[in-house]
Chains A and B, each alone.
Chain A
């Protein structure tokens, strides 16, 4: 039975975590641990893939006598689980490859090695869990392990703070989910997913549960306004872990939402769809705007994860809306789009974080303002990162475009929706999605242009060199996957068919039937796209032109100083920086959303000291929700703290008053 095998492998992961704890300080530990996790995750990927594309096998289940005593730990492997297992383990495998090289530069490996396999194992367990207790248990194991990885660089107070905020948000999410499960399980505590599926409950119960689920999974996935921990925590971890957290762990959160909202609760209301849709739209645009304001490469990437989560949730919201109105085809399309984007984002976000990790190893810099010109010193990394940027900007012929294209197609189906609320919101969300796509391109032009192009802005960037072969290998594997998923999307869509079949009882038409490997989600006459042809056309046109021009034109290339309108050899400081590049967009959007303010202080004429530029960007969510909350708790704590310093007489009077009060109650008690 596959699930048993899978569990055994996951157990192997935990075992290697234990091994790592014992032997973390040995020099060989690095390669052993990462090698082990590489092998295990690869096998897991293979198993899950075979489960996904294999023949229609009934979901295999397994009950272990652990966990909640009278329930046991239930595990289940179905299409949905299989797909997400692929996503998780693929990302984990490549992260292990990357870490084989990246880990060498780790100063305190004993703080990383034990937790990396545990983290991966935890994510696997979440996906396999088939009862509320096991689910939450694994969920928190995942959170704890990643927390430990976030605080690896614990000497920097920023990181411990990030870890703290992360852990708080994670626990908040877990408690929300706990309440949701309590509600779903009912008074007699049927915590098994099977029981929850069977149970019938009032619509308002379902509504509350769904709201709690959105809170719980949203806080893990980084939905605005629950995203605040994400851009702090993800960059703090070592880069291969950042890749896992951003590319994979957020997907586990998405899995949690899909599992509960579609599979366990089922029969959604259109209101739910509306809420999720709106949250997704807002998240997408705010996320990319946040990202545009950053100049720390890894933080920019982390913020951008928020945007992609938004896109995914737009798809999920549409799916809910369609399903609520019994439009199975639309639901299938939207869900497929969302899941496709899950896969895509896990690919290119891992790629980009690997790239940032490579930059980090080569230069020790995360701040773009001190980078630049790396394309000359690390050409391979530069190429891989370029592909990642192109893919994440949703540009054909790469994979990012396909999933967004599918989402657009789903949006274009939505006028059939009967509810007015949806009819008003959906096009607005479509606009938001388009906006976020355009802004994403801007964001990554900035990221790439400042980091890799131009001239070095600092000595570290000037002295950088290409990274080792493991890191390169991991990045190029992802490049290949991005390209593959982009040019033959039909394969992925067909692989997703059983999932959408399982969740919404309908699947997109088999794309393998469509000619020339192109995809047509509804009908070829309506809309179709062929990544392969587009890719070939562009490649062919480019090469042909290049060749033709070579024949016609003079081949000579003379190198000289940059023209720059007659100011050659200006110092690298005259280049555009990250903040100056974003300045127009900051002025257009940021002033509204973030109260962004640029302040320039000019030295008086004749004084030799430098002019200062500062750009202040405030996070409205933090200022609006979290800061007041923290302040309130702090104030209350301070106020109550006086109770520590009372005198014995006062404590006695507390006792006395309580006694008198209770007696009075009794005296008045009928």
Chain B
């Protein structure tokens, strides 16, 4: 493949990491959702590019799914939920943004170190992609564990999952990618519905001891 292809793929993957950083940086829910939409969009673009590069047409499906479902439907739905549950005013970080960013840097560095130590036989495109994907996955986890409220954690999970799709798409000729992306979309749908149905506002991380007792059914 030509350098251009490589550079564009590289650029898009790197862009995804960048957007993940933006996610971490955000502490307003609305903004978080918008940026997640962006995240999904970038993913769609990079998957589409992979489809073009590997001329694997089925990947276009995944791209479309990412664009349509994750970049549009999910953010809108979450938007509604936030309004319904009235939790859009939350300041919901566990540790300060600065620290989280630092941790994120560390994670990206870790991802790079781990992946780039992989010997060069694996084709470079895949390697870069994997490195970025790993970074995105780790950042997604970081988002999940540093946010207090359900919605932002869902966003974290979804960004994590975007990283997976990125990796899957980057893996040349990997079968079942489409199926997997579909399966994940369903999973996410479940989660969102779950939040909506069970009114799980704070259930991820409540600080209300009585609630704990009630729900864990263990302590008296």
Interface residues of A (CB under 8 A from B): 644-645, 647-650, 652-653, 655-656, 659-660, 663-664, 666-667
Return the CB mask of B144-169 against A: 1 if under 8 Å, else 0. Answer: 11011000010000000000000000
Most buried by A among B144, B153, B206: B144
Interface CB pairs A-B, < 8 A, 10: A644-B216, A648-B203, A652-B141, A652-B144, A655-B141, A656-B145, A659-B138, A659-B141, A660-B110, A667-B117
Please, how many angstroms separate the alpha-carbon atoms of A649 and B156 in the complex?
A: 12
- The reply to whether A652 and B145 contact each other, CB–CB distance below 8 Å, is yes
Please, how many angstroms separate the alpha-carbon atoms of A650 and B111 in the complex?
A: 23
With both beta carbons as reference points, the residue of chain A lying nearest to B215 in the complex is identified as A645
Please, how many angstroms separate the alpha-carbon atoms of A169 and B146 in the complex?
A: 47
In the complex, what's the smallest C-beta–C-beta distance from A652 to chain B, in angstroms?
5
With both beta carbons as reference points, the residue of chain B lying nearest to A647 in the complex is identified as B205
- The reply to whether B110 and A667 contact each other, CB–CB distance below 8 Å, is yes
The 5 closest A-B pairs by CB, nearest first: A653-B145, A649-B205, A647-B205, A667-B113, A656-B141
Return the CB mask of B128-146 against A: 1 if under 8 Å, else 0. Answer: 0000000000100110110
Instruction: State the majority secondary structure of interface residues on B.
Output: helix
With both beta carbons as reference points, the residue of chain B lying nearest to A655 in the complex is identified as B141
Residue B218 at the chain A interface, CB threshold 8 Å = yes
Please, how many angstroms separate the alpha-carbon atoms of A384 and B203 in the complex?
A: 73
B78-132 interface with A by 8 A CB criterion = 94, 107, 110-111, 113-114, 117
Q: Which residues of A contact B117 (CB under 8 A)?
A: 667
Q: Could you list 17 further interchain pairs (A-B, Cβ under 8 angstroms) beyond the known A656-B141, A660-B110?
A: A644-B216, A644-B218, A645-B212, A645-B219, A647-B206, A648-B204, A648-B205, A649-B144, A649-B153, A649-B204, A652-B144, A653-B145, A656-B142, A659-B141, A660-B138, A663-B110, A667-B113
- The reply to whether B114 and A667 contact each other, CB–CB distance below 8 Å, is yes
With both beta carbons as reference points, the residue of chain A lying nearest to B206 in the complex is identified as A647
Q: Which residues of A contact B141 (CB under 8 A)?
A: 652, 655-656, 659
In the complex, what's the smallest C-beta–C-beta distance from B149 to chain A, in angstroms?
10
B164-217 interface with A by 8 A CB criterion = 203-206, 212, 216
Q: Which residues of A contact B218 (CB under 8 A)?
A: 644-645
Interface residues of B (CB under 8 A from A): 94, 107, 110-111, 113-114, 117, 138, 141-142, 144-145, 147-148, 153, 203-206, 212, 216, 218-219
Please, how many angstroms separate the alpha-carbon atoms of A652 and B204 in the complex?
A: 10
Please, how many angstroms separate the alpha-carbon atoms of A619 and B216 in the complex?
A: 41
Please, how many angstroms separate the alpha-carbon atoms of A655 and B111 in the complex?
A: 17
With both beta carbons as reference points, the residue of chain A lying nearest to B141 in the complex is identified as A656
Please, how many angstroms separate the alpha-carbon atoms of A644 and B212 in the complex?
A: 10
With both beta carbons as reference points, the residue of chain A lying nearest to B112 in the complex is identified as A667
Q: Which residues of A contact B114 (CB under 8 A)?
A: 663, 666-667
In the complex, what's the smallest C-beta–C-beta distance from B95 to chain A, in angstroms?
11
- The reply to whether A647 and B107 contact each other, CB–CB distance below 8 Å, is no
Please, how many angstroms separate the alpha-carbon atoms of A476 and B141 in the complex?
A: 79
- The reply to whether B205 and A650 contact each other, CB–CB distance below 8 Å, is yes
Q: Which residues of A contact B144 (CB under 8 A)?
A: 649, 652, 656
Q: Which residues of B contact A650 (CB under 8 A)?
A: 205
Please, how many angstroms separate the alpha-carbon atoms of A207 and B90 in the complex?
A: 66
With both beta carbons as reference points, the residue of chain A lying nearest to B216 in the complex is identified as A645
Most buried by B among A650, A659, A667: A667
- The reply to whether B216 and A664 contact each other, CB–CB distance below 8 Å, is no
Most buried by B among A649, A653, A655, A656: A649
| Partner pick for A649 among B107, B111, B148, CB 8 A cutoff | B148
Please, how many angstroms separate the alpha-carbon atoms of A579 and B46 in the complex?
A: 90
Please, how many angstroms separate the alpha-carbon atoms of A472 and B153 in the complex?
A: 79
Most buried by B among A645, A650, A666: A645
- The reply to whether B107 and A660 contact each other, CB–CB distance below 8 Å, is yes
Q: Which residues of B contact A667 (CB under 8 A)?
A: 110, 113-114, 117
Please, how many angstroms separate the alpha-carbon atoms of A652 and B160 in the complex?
A: 13
In the complex, what's the smallest C-beta–C-beta distance from B214 to chain A, in angstroms?
12
In the complex, what's the smallest C-beta–C-beta distance from B163 to chain A, in angstroms?
13
Q: Which residues of B contact A666 (CB under 8 A)?
A: 114
Q: Which residues of B contact A644 (CB under 8 A)?
A: 216, 218
In the complex, what's the smallest C-beta–C-beta distance from A199 to chain B, in angstroms?
47
Please, how many angstroms separate the alpha-carbon atoms of A645 and B203 in the complex?
A: 12
In the complex, what's the smallest C-beta–C-beta distance from B173 to chain A, in angstroms?
26
Q: Which residues of A contact B204 (CB under 8 A)?
A: 647-649
In the complex, what's the smallest C-beta–C-beta distance from B193 to chain A, in angstroms?
17
Q: Which residues of A contact B212 (CB under 8 A)?
A: 645
In the complex, what's the smallest C-beta–C-beta distance from A648 to chain B, in angstroms?
5
Please, how many angstroms separate the alpha-carbon atoms of A663 and B109 in the complex?
A: 11
In the complex, what's the smallest C-beta–C-beta distance from B24 to chain A, in angstroms?
14
Q: Which residues of A contact B107 (CB under 8 A)?
A: 660
Q: Which residues of B contact A664 (CB under 8 A)?
A: 110
With both beta carbons as reference points, the residue of chain B lying nearest to A651 in the complex is identified as B145
In the complex, what's the smallest C-beta–C-beta distance from B27 to chain A, in angstroms?
16
Please, how many angstroms separate the alpha-carbon atoms of A664 and B114 in the complex?
A: 8
In the complex, what's the smallest C-beta–C-beta distance from B167 to chain A, in angstroms?
15
Please, how many angstroms separate the alpha-carbon atoms of A653 and B94 in the complex?
A: 12
Q: Which residues of B contact A649 (CB under 8 A)?
A: 94, 144-145, 147-148, 153, 204-205
With both beta carbons as reference points, the residue of chain A lying nearest to B153 in the complex is identified as A649
In the complex, what's the smallest C-beta–C-beta distance from B157 to chain A, in angstroms?
10
Please, how many angstroms separate the alpha-carbon atoms of A660 and B107 in the complex?
A: 8
In the complex, what's the smallest C-beta–C-beta distance from A355 to chain B, in angstroms?
49
In the complex, what's the smallest C-beta–C-beta distance from A669 to chain B, in angstroms?
9
Please, how many angstroms separate the alpha-carbon atoms of A648 and B148 in the complex?
A: 10
Most buried by A among B117, B148, B205, B219: B205
In the complex, what's the smallest C-beta–C-beta distance from A418 to chain B, in angstroms?
64
In the complex, what's the smallest C-beta–C-beta distance from A107 to chain B, in angstroms?
35
Q: Which residues of A contact B219 (CB under 8 A)?
A: 645
Please, how many angstroms separate the alpha-carbon atoms of A655 and B144 in the complex?
A: 11
Q: Which residues of B contact A647 (CB under 8 A)?
A: 204-206
Most buried by A among B145, B148, B205, B216: B145
With both beta carbons as reference points, the residue of chain B lying nearest to A666 in the complex is identified as B114
Q: Which residues of A contact B148 (CB under 8 A)?
A: 649
Please, how many angstroms separate the alpha-carbon atoms of A648 and B111 in the complex?
A: 25
With both beta carbons as reference points, the residue of chain B lying nearest to A669 in the complex is identified as B117
With both beta carbons as reference points, the residue of chain A lying nearest to B218 in the complex is identified as A644
Q: Which residues of B contact A653 (CB under 8 A)?
A: 145
Q: Which residues of A contact B205 (CB under 8 A)?
A: 647-650
With both beta carbons as reference points, the residue of chain A lying nearest to B144 in the complex is identified as A652
Please, how many angstroms separate the alpha-carbon atoms of A346 and B50 in the complex?
A: 85
Q: Which residues of B contact A645 (CB under 8 A)?
A: 212, 216, 218-219
Please, how many angstroms separate the alpha-carbon atoms of A95 and B219 in the complex?
A: 48
Please, how many angstroms separate the alpha-carbon atoms of A650 and B94 in the complex?
A: 11
In the complex, what's the smallest C-beta–C-beta distance from B154 to chain A, in angstroms?
12
Please, how many angstroms separate the alpha-carbon atoms of A663 and B204 in the complex?
A: 26
Please, how many angstroms separate the alpha-carbon atoms of A652 and B153 in the complex?
A: 11
Please, how many angstroms separate the alpha-carbon atoms of A613 and B169 in the complex?
A: 86
Q: Which residues of B contact A663 (CB under 8 A)?
A: 110-111, 114
Please, how many angstroms separate the alpha-carbon atoms of A30 and B117 in the complex?
A: 77
In the complex, what's the smallest C-beta–C-beta distance from A133 to chain B, in angstroms?
40
In the complex, what's the smallest C-beta–C-beta distance from A647 to chain B, in angstroms?
4
In the complex, what's the smallest C-beta–C-beta distance from A616 to chain B, in angstroms?
35
In the complex, what's the smallest C-beta–C-beta distance from A659 to chain B, in angstroms?
7
Q: Which residues of B contact A652 (CB under 8 A)?
A: 141, 144-145
Please, how many angstroms separate the alpha-carbon atoms of A652 and B147 in the complex?
A: 11
Q: Which residues of A contact B113 (CB under 8 A)?
A: 667
Please, how many angstroms separate the alpha-carbon atoms of A653 and B111 in the complex?
A: 18
In the complex, what's the smallest C-beta–C-beta distance from B125 to chain A, in angstroms?
22
In the complex, what's the smallest C-beta–C-beta distance from A298 to chain B, in angstroms?
39
In the complex, what's the smallest C-beta–C-beta distance from B137 to chain A, in angstroms?
9
Please, how many angstroms separate the alpha-carbon atoms of A656 and B94 in the complex?
A: 15
Please, how many angstroms separate the alpha-carbon atoms of A655 and B140 in the complex?
A: 13
In the complex, what's the smallest C-beta–C-beta distance from B146 to chain A, in angstroms?
8
In the complex, what's the smallest C-beta–C-beta distance from A522 to chain B, in angstroms?
69
In the complex, what's the smallest C-beta–C-beta distance from B82 to chain A, in angstroms?
18
